[in-house]
Amino acid sequence: MTLPEQTLSTLSTPALILDADRMDRNIARLRDRLDGLGVNLRPHLKTAKSVDVAHRLMTTPHGPATVSTLREAQLFAQAGVCDIIYAVGISPDKLPAILALKAEGIDIAVVLDSVEQAQAVARASRDAGVAIPALIEVDCDGHRSGVRPNDHAAQLAIASALADGAELRGVLTHAGGSYGARGDEALRACAEEERLAVVSTADWLRANGFPCPVVSVGSTPTAHFGTSFDGVTEVRAGVFVFFDLVMAGIGVCTIDDIALSLLSTVIGHQREKGWILVDAGWMALSRDRGTARQAVDQGYGLVCDQHGRPFGDLIVADANQEHGILALRPGSSGTLPDLAIGDRVRILPNHACATGAQHDRYHVLSGGTQSIEAVWPRFGGW
């Protein structure tokens, strides 16, 4: 749906703005990097949750792709995506939906890290007469879920349980600990730790007679800092499509790479407090405060002018449900910009996934103009 008459000056706020040129540059950057290292990209579509964005992200209109919810799997499947990993630990109640997708010709693989899950997948496979493919999740850094790389007994038990009707597709890990790394050396170390964890697990499974065709790693920081992907078949990453302030704080991107922003309108002043009020609170920005643990705390977001140029130390210092409070960063020697009621600002998000989740559409810009060239639907839910 195109709305050429809309501009950043006329759009109702708050509104989610997507700079398509920056997005395309971010996609090309990672794709070119991984091509040069000889490994495939399986983009994670959870950040965008948009068919229009997915078509720019994927190698083909049919995939490969990664999702984090069944709703994503179902809606992307309806749009023609047929090569999917559902990269959240599977529970038995979700297996009928997985089988329904397979009955439609969708190659969807599930992820698990316990014998109980593997037995449930094998049982559902036997009952349906369809082998559900599964990947064993490996915990490469203690961040979240998965089997430890040296826990061979658990790996063997899971693989054996899957062999009773299901299909062992391979191994998968996510270096979530990389979000806490700082500096190129630390990020490269996270990437190598991630790689070794799954490659060693895959080698051990193969040595014990289990096929392991897929060796999957993935996080935006390690995808950009890994120096070798030997033994890895694919890289999963998601937030790189838009980037955000957390990624900038880690050092994966610059502020100028962030493709997503929130358009907001000035609605008031509390001059004695050094505040400017806008119509974007945490309902529009999200409650995410991911930069609070970084060297530079960006509050609820970094404030830019209508053209997307940062004001410097102006941040969303606090947020109520529908009010954002703009103020200078603590310790700043700057001055508040002269913003009148009705002026527009754009706020860069801490976490693109969380801010995006508050909205049902992207207002798309390109070519450096202020005109909205398209509106792309965005979905949510599970």
Q: pLDDT tens for residues 117-127?
A: 999 999 999 99
Can you give the pLDDT at residue 126? 98
Q: Would you say the CATH fold of 255-377 matches that of 44-237?
A: no
Q: Is the dihedral of CA 301, 307, 312, 314 positive or negative?
A: negative
Q: What is the pLDDT of residues 189-243, one digit of tens each?
A: 999 999 999 999 999 999 999 999 999 999 999 999 999 999 999 999 999 999 9
Q: How confident is the model at residue 4 (pLDDT cuts 50, 70, 90)?
A: low
User: Looking at the domain that runs over 255-377, which CATH code has it been given?
Assistant: 2.40.37.20
- Tell me the C-alpha to C-alpha distance, in Å, between residue 279 and each of 9, 267, 287, 316: 15, 6, 15, 11
Q: How large is the average pLDDT for residues 299-313?
A: 97
Extents of the domains making up the chain = 44-237, 255-377
Q: How confident is the model at residue 51 (pLDDT cuts 50, 70, 90)?
A: very high
The amino acid sitting at 52 is: D
Determine the 3-state secondary structure of 266 from DSSP.
strand
Q: What is the pLDDT of residues 15-24, one digit of tens each?
A: 999 999 999 9
Can you give the pLDDT at residue 2? 45
Write out the E strands in 195-301: 214-217, 234-235, 260-270, 275-278
Alpha-carbon gap, residue 179 to 167, rounded angstroms = 32
- Tell me the C-alpha to C-alpha distance, in Å, between residue 234 and each of 43, 77, 198, 209: 10, 20, 11, 22
Determine the 3-state secondary structure of 362 from DSSP.
strand
Using left for φ > 0, alpha for ψ between -120 and 50, and beta otherwise, residue 308 falls in left
Alpha-carbon gap, residue 235 to 218, rounded angstroms = 5
- Tell me the C-alpha to C-alpha distance, in Å, between residue 162 and each of 130, 131, 150, 212, 382: 13, 9, 20, 12, 26
Angle at 16 between CA 47 and CA 313, to 5 degrees: 95
pTM assigned to the model: 0.96
Alpha-carbon gap, residue 163 to 331, rounded angstroms = 60
Q: Across the strands, what pairs with 318?
A: 325
Is pLDDT at 1 greater than 80 in this prediction? no
Q: How large is the average pLDDT for residues 7-13?
A: 97
Q: What is the pLDDT of residues 76-93, one digit of tens each?
A: 999 999 999 999 999 999
Can you give the pLDDT at residue 5? 77
* Cβ pair 19, 366 in contact under 8 A: yes
At the topology level of CATH, where does 44-237 sit? TIM Barrel (3.20.20)
Angle at 173 between CA 145 and CA 184, to 5 degrees: 110
More confident residue, 57 or 143: 57
How is residue 18 written in tokens?
């997507």
Can you give the pLDDT at residue 24? 98
Can you give the pLDDT at residue 202? 98
Q: What is the pLDDT of residues 365-381, one digit of tens each?
A: 999 899 999 999 999 99
Mean pLDDT over each residue of the chain, to the nearest integer: 97
Q: What is the pLDDT of residues 322-370, one digit of tens each?
A: 999 999 999 999 999 999 999 999 999 999 999 999 999 999 999 989 9
Q: What is the pLDDT of residues 96-141, one digit of tens each?
A: 999 999 999 999 999 999 999 999 999 999 999 999 999 999 999 9
Can you give the pLDDT at residue 130? 98
* Cβ pair 344, 261 in contact under 8 A: no
Can you give the pLDDT at residue 3? 43
Alpha-carbon gap, residue 246 to 186, rounded angstroms = 16
